[in-house]
A and B are shown apart, each in its own frame.
Chain A
Amino acid sequence: MSALNIKRGSTSHSAYDLRDPNAEVIESHTLAILVENEPGVLARVIGLFSGRGYNIESLTVAETDHARHLSRITIVTSGTPQVIDQIEAQLRRMVPVHDVHDLTAEGPSVQRELALFKVAGKGEARIEALRLAEIFRAHVVDSTLESFVFEMTGTPEKIDSFADLMRPLGLKEIARTGVAALSRGV
Chain B
Amino acid sequence: MAKAMSGAMTGARMVVQALKDQGVDVVFGYPGGAVLPIYDEIFLQNDIRHILVRHEQGAIHMAEGYARSTGKVGVALVTSGPGATNAVTGLTDALLDSIPIVVLSGQVPTFMIGTDGFQEADTVGITRPCTKMNWLVKDTAKLADTIHQAFHVAKSGRPGPVLVDIPKDVQFATAEYTPVQRARTSHYQPRLKGDIDAITAMVEMLETAERPVFYTGGGVINSGSGASQLLREFVEATGFPITSTLMGLGAYPASGKNWLGMLGMHGLYEANLAMHGCDLMINVGARFDDRITGRIKDFSPHSRKVHIDIDASSINKVIRVDVPILGDVGHVLEDALRIWKARGRKVNKEGLAKWWKQIAEWRAVNCLDYKGSTKVIKPQYALQRLEALTKGMDRYITTEVGQHQMWAAQFLGFEAPNRWMTSGGLGTMGYGLPASIGVQIAHPEALVINVAGEASWLMNMQEMGTAMQFRAPVKQFILNNERLGMVRQWQELLHGERYSQSWSESLPDFVKLAEAFGCKGIKVSDPADLDDAILEMIRYDGPVIFDCLVEKHENCFPMIPSGKPHNEMLLGEADTQGVIKAAGAVLV
> Do these two chains interact?
yes
Q: Are B157 and A10 in contact (CB under 8 A)?
A: no
- Interface flags for A81-96 (1: CB within 8 Å of B; 0: not) read 0100110011011111
The reply on B341 being an interface residue by CB < 8 A is no
Contact assessment for A93 and B326 in the assembled complex, using a CB-CB cutoff below 8 Å: no
Q: How far is the CB of A163 from chain B (nearest CB, A)?
A: 35
Q: How far is the CB of A51 from chain B (nearest CB, A)?
A: 5
Closest 9 CB pairs of A and B: A89-B313, A95-B133, A13-B312, A89-B312, A11-B326, A10-B195, A4-B201, A90-B313, A10-B197
Taking CB atoms, residues of chain B closer than 8 Å to A6 are 197-198, 201, 323
Q: How far is the CB of A64 from chain B (nearest CB, A)?
A: 16
A selection of 17 A-B contacts at a CB cut-off of 8 Å is: A1-B322, A4-B204, A4-B322, A6-B198, A7-B197, A11-B194, A11-B312, A11-B324, A12-B326, A13-B312, A15-B316, A15-B320, A39-B136, A40-B124, A40-B128, A93-B313, A95-B132
Residues on A with C-beta less than 8 A from B190 are 93
Judge if B321 is at the interface, Cβ distance under 8 Å.
Answer: yes
List 14 other contacts, CB 8 Å, given A11-B312, A13-B315, A93-B311: A10-B195, A11-B195, A11-B324, A12-B326, A13-B326, A21-B320, A39-B136, A47-B129, A82-B316, A89-B315, A90-B313, A93-B157, A95-B132, A96-B133
Closest A-chain residue to B327, C-beta based? A11
CB A115 to nearest CB in B, in angstroms, measures 32
Give the contacting residue for B323; candidates A4, A86, A94; CB below 8 A. Answer: A4
A43 part of interface (Cβ distance < 8 Å): yes
B125 at the interface (CB under 8 A from A): yes
Distance to closest chain A CB from B197 (angstroms): 5
B-to-A contact residues, CB < 8 Å: 124-125, 128-129, 132-134, 136, 153, 157-158, 187-188, 190-191, 194-195, 197-198, 201, 204-205, 311-313, 315-317, 320-326
Instruction: List CB contacts (< 8 Å) of A87-118 with chain B.
Output: 89-90, 92-96, 98
* Cβ B316 vs Cβ A21 within 8 A: yes
Most buried by B among A4, A7, A47: A4
Give Cα distance in the complex from A15 to B312, angstroms. 11
Quote the shortest CB–CB distance from A65 to chain B (angstroms): 13
Q: Determine the residue in chain A with the shortest Cβ distance to B152.
A: A95
Give the CA-CA distance A170 to B136 in the complex, in Å: 48
Known A-B contacts A21-B316, A93-B313, A98-B187; A15 and B132 likewise in contact (beta carbons under 8 Å):
no
**In the complex with contacts A10-B195, A40-B128, A47-B129, A93-B158 CB distance below 8 A:** yes
Residues in A whose Cβ lies below 8 Å from that of B326: 11-13
**Nearest A residue (CB) for B194:** A11
Q: Nearest-CB distance from A104 to chain B (Å)?
A: 18
Closest B residue to A92 by beta carbon equals B312
- With both beta carbons as reference points, the residue of chain B lying nearest to A90 in the complex is identified as B313
- Determine the residue in chain B with the shortest Cβ distance to A91: B313
Q: Which residues of A contact B195 (CB under 8 A)?
A: 10-11
In contact, B128 and A44 (Cβ under 8 angstroms): yes
The 8 A CB mask of A148-161 against B (1 = contact, 0 = none) is: 00000000000000
A10-30 contact mask (Cβ, 8 Å, vs B): 1 or 0 = 111111000001100000000
- A144 interface residue per 8 A CB criterion: no
Q: How far is the CA of A39 from the CA of B133 in the complex (A)?
A: 12
The answer to whether A47 touches B128 (Cβ under 8 A) is yes
The contact of B312 among A12, A22, A44, by CB within 8 Å, is A12
CA distance A98 to B188 in the complex (A): 8
Chain A residues, CB < 8 A from B322: 1, 4, 15
Q: Are B320 and A22 within 8 A (Cβ)?
A: yes
In the complex, what residues of A have CB within 8 A of residue B136's CB?
39-40
